[in-house]
């Protein structure tokens, strides 16, 4: 235990993990959708910092550009296009007993997963291997080309759907008759 405390990176990891935990909590408890999206930005930014602590710079920039840059902008545009309500809605709220039960189940799952990981790996250390961006590109466009293309088609369909929703003119019911 003393060896863990002596590493500065471990303290940074703990601080970022706590901040991410709070931001993730705010994602699911915020009554305002925009505040929830901003908390999601903080959570994803924290994951980028964790990857930076692990020395995976390519993954850091991928998280920043793809998730924080593109997905969050897509969420915000979706909120604006659909004109989603931004305030508190009583019918979406759950009674306190349900919230307490959810907190107990989430805590139990966290402890179970944590115990399982510690039991499975213990103090075993991962050997670091250097992976270049070229190696990732060869894997992505070689072995994993089909999943890569499927994801690109799904993103294209989402883009086209967003454009159709955004450009659809509001039609009065009386005009349709």
Q: Which long-range contacts (CB under 8 A, 24 or more apart) does 129-135 make?
A: 133/58
Residue 75 lies in a domain: yes
Q: How sure is the predictor about 86, in pLDDT bands with cuts at 50, 70 and 90?
A: low
The total of structural domains in the chain comes to 1
Query: How crowded is the C-beta side of 19, counted as CA atoms within 13 Å?
Result: 16
**122-175 per-position pLDDT tens digit:** 777 767 676 778 888 888 888 888 888 888 899 889 888 877 877 766 665 565
Whether 32 maps to a domain, the answer reads: yes
CATH number at residue 20: 1.20.120.1200
Q: Which domain does 52 fall in, by range?
A: 1-93
Taking the CA atoms of residue 161, residue 162, residue 163 and residue 168 in that order, the dihedral angle to the nearest 10 degrees is 90
């Amino acid at each position: 235990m003393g060896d863990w405390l002596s590493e500065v990176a471990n303290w940074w990891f703990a601080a970022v993990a706590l901040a991410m935990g709070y931001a993730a909590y705010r994602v699911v408890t915020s009554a305002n959708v925009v505040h929830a999206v901003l908390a999601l930005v903080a959570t994803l930014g924290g994951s980028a910092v964790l990857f930076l602590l692990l020395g995976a710079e390519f993954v850091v920039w991928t998280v920043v550009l793809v998730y924080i840059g593109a997905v969050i902008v897509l969420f915000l545009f979706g909120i604006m296009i659909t004109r989603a309500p931004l305030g508190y809605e009583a019918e979406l709220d759950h009674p306190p007993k349900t919230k307490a039960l959810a907190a107990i189940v989430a805590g139990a799952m966290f402890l179970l997963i944590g115990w399982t990981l510690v039991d499975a790996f213990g103090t075993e250390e991962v050997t670091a291997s250097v992976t270049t961006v070229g190696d990732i590109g060869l894997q992505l466009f070689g072995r994993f080309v089909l999943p890569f293309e499927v994801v690109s088609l799904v993103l294209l369909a989402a883009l086209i759907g967003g454009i159709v929703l955004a450009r659809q003119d509001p039609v009065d019911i009386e005009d349709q008759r």
